[in-house]
Structure 1
Amino acid sequence: MAARAPLIGIVDSGGPAGQMQDSRAFHAEGDGPARPDRLGHGSAVAAMLKRAAPDVRLRHAQVFDEKPVTSADRVARAVDWLAADCDLILLSLGLAADRAVLRDACTRAAERGVILVAASPARGAPCWPAAYPDVIAATGDARCGWNDLSLLPGNIIGAWCASPEQGGKGMGGASLAAARVAGHLAAHLDEARGDPFGWLAAQAIHVGPERRRAAAR
């Protein structure tokens, strides 16, 4: 029997119409059917995941509508829904405040063995859920080509983020880097599942903001 393709949950603005059959929207007043992506951001991160791991299955939890604004409660409900079946959840977003409802949802997902990856800003104050201990924090690193990773201070994983230095165009930044980190894991899930952060760190060719691992020279 063929191995089951990994199921990756995406908490974002949804995806293109062809990916929305098994999706859900989480609104302030409750949840319901999702609509195709109106912002384009969820579609962009989904495309990155498919480029990295073409065989993965995707499930969208829509927490953005026409604007990139959401709440901890909406994101937490999305995480709980996805954690029931997904191997990995990508949260290509960051919230400015720590909220118990979101922290608890991430803890529940991690206790089920779900891998969580979230966007972390390259500079400035922490954001959530990336700052939670159960979540792998990812940010953009202009040194990283498509196949590269870096290990940055604070145990943050750096990755390709569509930066101009690497030939990127259009959307970029930490949210795209989180998608790229999730793609690395999705493509090597059997190897990485036991210690996903450790697996990512072991792949890093850049360690710290300037030093380069000797073996990669």
Structure 2
Amino acid sequence: MPGAVRRAAAAAGALLTGFTLVAAAPVAGQAAPAGPPRCGPTFTDQLTALPWPLQRLDPEAAWPTSRGRGVVVAVIDSGVTRRHPKLSGRVVAGKDFVQAGGSGDCDADGHGTLVAGIIAGNDTRDVPFYGIAPDAYIMPVRVLPNSKRSTDPTLPRRIADALVWAVNNGADVVNMSLVTEPTPALESAVKYAVSKNVVVVAAAGNEGASPSAGQPVYPAAYPEVIAVAGIDQQGKHVASSNTGEYVDIAAPGYAIEGPAPQGGGYAIDQEGGTSFAAAYVSGVAALIREHSPSLSPSDIRRRLQLTADAPAGDRDDQVGFGVVNPYRAVATILESENKRDDTTAGQVPAALPPDARLDTVRAIGGWVFGGGLLIAVLLLVAGPIRRRARRGTRPAALPDLPAPAASRFDSYTPVFGEPVRITSPSVRRQPEQGGFTLPGFDERGGRRTRG
């Protein structure tokens, strides 16, 4: 992100961590007027090949173990459409902190819809696209109106309140693909979420190429939050992705394709951003949450770190502990989750020796040798039982999740900081001549073509 935008972000307090929306194929759509019940960019172009992040991460390998069934992922963003086929039946009632009385399903920008599709898009085979956790639910929490500049001084407070609302209304995982100032309200909200056993994932930010590169951004830099950096198709760190000690893990964050708010089509953010990297990790967190519901947020962070595809030296400031690996994150058995000192729960050393990354359960040789005869007998008996079991029926499909009930917790008291000037989160660039670039249009107001 250029220095001018970085300075604007610092003064404003909030920026989405990526967005320049264009069609996934030759342009066939344009920005549509905002406003319920329809709002947001319209695209009709369909994907013809599986996006590279899904080829790289291969979440299907984890699905026999977990598909994120019943897990609710709150997307605190620009809203999430219910209209796209890949999100049909996946979006539960949320809240609109921009327009009173809304349920968060107006996405005038397109950013939140793309993030939601990455997390929990349906795995229908009509189009080669699906989410990491296709049986999870999305809770849309709209805090950002559109891609225009704003001087709204309430946005930092709005983001903190949105996080608390999501926790109080049933979120298991919260995705925050934005950066904002480290206010007392936000810090209090993050701590509250983790205290209620909610996993918080956030984008590491896109200031990697700016003079301020290396400085922490929030909420990602809070120690309770899983901070996600971006990689490209070659598995290399994306230059715009922030670096630092606070980075926990990495995921695809370049040339990202996904559903658009209107038209049933797909859009591409060619330059990507850590917004989308965070979404991939939130999807994996949902897989873990379904498979191992007793794990704490720090346990899930640790599991993600220990099972990632590690960089040389086991960790660095560009990709943290490495690129998220959905299959290993779900299927690996960590001995230390069953046997550990409670005082060290969730802590990860700065560098792990290679033989300590996968702390799997050890086989007990003496038991195997001494009980061999018993095992043979049991196998003979179990054969007919196992064959009968295979003829059983699959569990019934999970019914639609009802709208969230009233707040389950009332112990949170927001702590608000001083109001600050706000710049719209979805604006990524400020040309030297002045002005901002809106999704789908160039600096002169003309249509942007793919390229």
Task: Say whether the fold is shared (TM-score over 0.5).
Answer: yes
| CA RMSD, 1 decimal | 3.0
1:50-99 Cα shifts (integer Å, max 9, x gaps): 1100000110000111227672111111101100111100001111x210
Aligned positions of 1:3-22 closer than 5 A? 5-18=70-83, 22=93
Aligned equivalent of 1:32: 101
Aligned equivalent of 1:202: 306
Aligned positions of 1:116-155 closer than 5 A? 116-121=200-205, 123=208, 124=213, 125-142=215-232, 143-144=234-235, 154-155=245-246
* 1:214 to partner: Cα distance: 6.4
* 1:32 to partner: Cα distance: 3.1
**Structure with greater Cα Rg:** 2
SS in structure 1 opposite 2:141?
A: strand
SS in structure 2 opposite 1:32?
A: coil
Aligned equivalent of 1:148: none
CA contact (8 A) 2:231 2:254 kept: no
SS in structure 2 opposite 1:159?
A: strand
- Whole-Å separation in 1 of the counterparts to 2:300 and 2:286: 10
- Whole-Å separation in 2 of the counterparts to 1:21 and 1:4: 14
Q: Structure 1: 5+ residue runs without aligned partners?
A: 146-151
1:187 aligned to 279, 287, 292, which one? 287
CA contact (8 A) 1:162 1:169 kept: no
SS in structure 2 opposite 1:61?
A: strand
User: Between Structure 1 and Structure 2, which shows a larger proportion of strand residues?
Assistant: 1
Q: Structure 2: 5+ residue runs without aligned partners?
A: 1-67, 84-89, 121-130, 237-242, 257-266, 323-352, 358-451
TM-score relative to the length of structure 1: 0.81
Aligned equivalent of 1:149: none
- Whole-Å separation in 2 of the counterparts to 1:64 and 1:181: 22
CA contact (8 A) 1:17 1:37 kept: no
- Whole-Å separation in 1 of the counterparts to 2:108 and 2:203: 21
* 1:154 to partner: Cα distance: 1.5
Pairing 1:100–2:184 present: yes
1:23-51 Cα shifts (integer Å, max 9, x gaps): 21113xx8531352110000000000011
TM-score relative to the length of structure 2: 0.41
- Whole-Å separation in 2 of the counterparts to 1:67 and 1:35: 16
* 1:117 to partner: Cα distance: 0.3
CA contact (8 A) 1:20 1:36 kept: no
CA contact (8 A) 2:221 2:246 kept: no
Distance 1:135 1:31, change over 3 A: farther
* 1:153 to partner: Cα distance: 5.2
SS in structure 1 opposite 2:140?
A: strand
CA contact (8 A) 2:255 2:269 kept: no
Aligned positions of 1:29-178 closer than 5 A? 31-33=100-102, 34-50=104-120, 51-67=131-147, 71-84=155-168, 85-95=170-180, 97-121=181-205, 123=208, 124=213, 125-142=215-232, 143-144=234-235, 154-156=245-247, 157-163=249-255, 169-170=268-269, 172-178=272-278
* 1:206 to partner: Cα distance: 2.7
Distance 1:15 1:206, change over 3 A: same
- Whole-Å separation in 1 of the counterparts to 2:110 and 2:235: 24
Q: How many residues align?
A: 202
- Percent identity of the aligned residues? 27
Question: Which stretch of the first structure deviates more once superposed, 61-70 or 203-212?
Answer: 203-212
Question: Which stretch of the first structure deviates more once superposed, 193-202 or 60-69?
Answer: 60-69
- Whole-Å separation in 1 of the counterparts to 2:279 and 2:105: 21
